[in-house]
Structure 1
């Protein structure tokens, strides 16, 4: 849960992309951001290089630390506060050391008001990142006591500053009732918003909520939200993250069963193959079974009886009953 300057720098591409707000970057402002980073990092570059030569993990050299603190406090620069928080995380020699300072400077960054003019977009991005990290400090009781209510407020502030990962935490708070009253409709709305920025966990959780809500209904195959869930499953399945395996199972299910759009056996096969190859759990056994079904009953160009037999045999050996039943039925 460390604040990472690299994460902030990597977010610049988002601002130059499809944000529908007044903070879209033009060519001149991109040039400013480059010069801004040069100026900020130039302030500490010499000391940082010397620290690295000494084998130190410090981000801000000792003689420049006060200068960066001045930028954080007097200069009202949230990015400088983030650098200090990262610095204390880097130099800690044991778990928990300096967590109070990290939390303090993260709080300072989150509490800033964005400066106007050329600094506006960068400050908004920095504040969004800091507030999300502060929410994690508060949720997990790092550097101070836990406070779920304030944690959710910080995640909401992060989301308000267009940090879509912060929005994912807000959705989770509403879904689980952490720090706020449980409200699955609000959770789903926030997940959808965050998924539009291709945050995979939000896409995945939105898909799950839509899927299971539809299953409870009486007209599941024609659920109007399946088209959205189908698109979201594609995003979550094609991102490398901890939930990719499960996301691909949902992707395969939508494609195989023509939910939210026409059946697409080739896409279903690709998604199910990924889950089959990477999961030993129930969803993995089911995915392998569905790969076998496509290899047996799908379009001619996808059929392969030998591969299907191998998968079904392995599934039956693992006591997956549908695989055993299909082998008994004959191929």
Structure 2
């Protein structure tokens, strides 16, 4: 995670500009732990017997040639929702749905190839599937193509092509695409460095519910990067993201309350926000609390 505003002794606001390879698919594709949690939530809501009944309905529908039901059945196997978790079976069903033109299935199959989930790891095949979805005007596919070019997944790193793919995804209203495009403009990596464009894109992504973009927008307002300084607006954004459990937003809110930037100084409120950031797993926030406890 990068930080900004450290020059000349200025405050370090936590800025969410890290681009990890978190490929975006339909539900259940955020990783094994997320898939397990999704299944647990579904079981708590529907009950085990109902999930098993739904899984059978999806499988029967798939056997009849319904691509949507093949996709739903794949999700069930990927999550272990109503059936025993089986990544290989999920991948086979994603392929069946993808071959019939189901773009979310193509994306999820691409992720399976990227991660080696149920199939042999094959980054080039992953990129081909993402590209197939993108060419069919699917925003998630375009976003995943951008991530692939940004990270060198199945292809040489190419920031220019990554930026173009993020731009295509953003134009279709994809919040992660807009956020990634904002990062590219902020850093000048693959695109013209333009803080005004970057800030506008952070705002667009924030309006679509992207909390890391909201936090980054708060940093822009606090530092005056690409927009007129507005500390009060910045604090509002930090507190919004903290309420959504974003640890960087909590830490930034705590820093603001401690220093009185855009809000009245309040050591108590500052500690509350920083404690929450620590509780959410942000190590720098924990270190701030430890340092404060040792201070005379």
Q: Which of 89, 101, 117 is the aligned partner of 1:98?
A: 89
Q: Secondary structure at the match of 1:173?
A: helix
1:203–1:236 CA contact under 8 A, matched in 2:
yes
Task: Say if 2:230 is the partner of 1:264.
Answer: yes
Instruction: Look up the match of 2:184.
Output: 209
Shift of 1:169: 0.5
Task: Say if 2:240 is the partner of 1:274.
Answer: yes
Assess, with a 3 A threshold, how the Cα gap between structure 1 residues 89 and 262 changes in structure 2: closer, same or farther: closer
**Cα distance per residue 1:124-164 (max 9 Å; x no partner):** xx4x3332222123223334322110110110111111111
**Cα distance per residue 1:255-314 (max 9 Å; x no partner):** 122222222333212112234553445x64234213544xx354xxxx434xx3324456
Q: Which of 237, 252, 268 is the aligned partner of 2:206?
A: 237
* Matches of 1:237 and 1:182, distance apart in 2: 28
Assess, with a 3 A threshold, how the Cα gap between structure 1 residues 224 and 87 changes in structure 2: closer, same or farther: closer
Q: Which of 69, 83, 89 is the aligned partner of 1:83?
A: 69
Instruction: Look up the match of 1:58.
Output: 56
* Matches of 2:129 and 2:140, distance apart in 1: 12
* Matches of 2:139 and 2:68, distance apart in 1: 18
* Matches of 1:209 and 1:252, distance apart in 2: 18
1:135–1:155 CA contact under 8 A, matched in 2:
yes
Q: Which of 142, 165, 190 is the aligned partner of 1:190?
A: 165
Assess, with a 3 A threshold, how the Cα gap between structure 1 residues 197 and 107 changes in structure 2: closer, same or farther: closer
Task: Say if 2:115 is the partner of 1:144.
Answer: no
1:89–1:98 CA contact under 8 A, matched in 2:
no
Assess, with a 3 A threshold, how the Cα gap between structure 1 residues 58 and 235 changes in structure 2: closer, same or farther: farther
* Matches of 1:237 and 1:54, distance apart in 2: 38
Shift of 1:178: 0.2
Assess, with a 3 A threshold, how the Cα gap between structure 1 residues 85 and 261 changes in structure 2: closer, same or farther: closer
* Matches of 2:62 and 2:187, distance apart in 1: 52
Q: Which of 217, 233, 247 is the aligned partner of 1:251?
A: 217
1:106–1:134 CA contact under 8 A, matched in 2:
no
- The unaligned stretches of length 5 or more in structure 1 are 5-50, 70-79, 111-125, 215-222
TM-score (norm 1): 0.57
Instruction: Look up the match of 1:173.
Output: 148
Assess, with a 3 A threshold, how the Cα gap between structure 1 residues 284 and 258 changes in structure 2: closer, same or farther: same
Shift of 1:95: 1.6
* Matches of 1:56 and 1:249, distance apart in 2: 39
**Cα distance per residue 1:66-98 (max 9 Å; x no partner):** 5x32xxxxxxxxxx3232342355477322163
2:178–2:202 CA contact under 8 A, matched in 1:
yes
Task: Say if 2:108 is the partner of 1:108.
Answer: no
**RMSD over equivalenced CA pairs, Å:** 3.8
Assess, with a 3 A threshold, how the Cα gap between structure 1 residues 211 and 320 changes in structure 2: closer, same or farther: farther
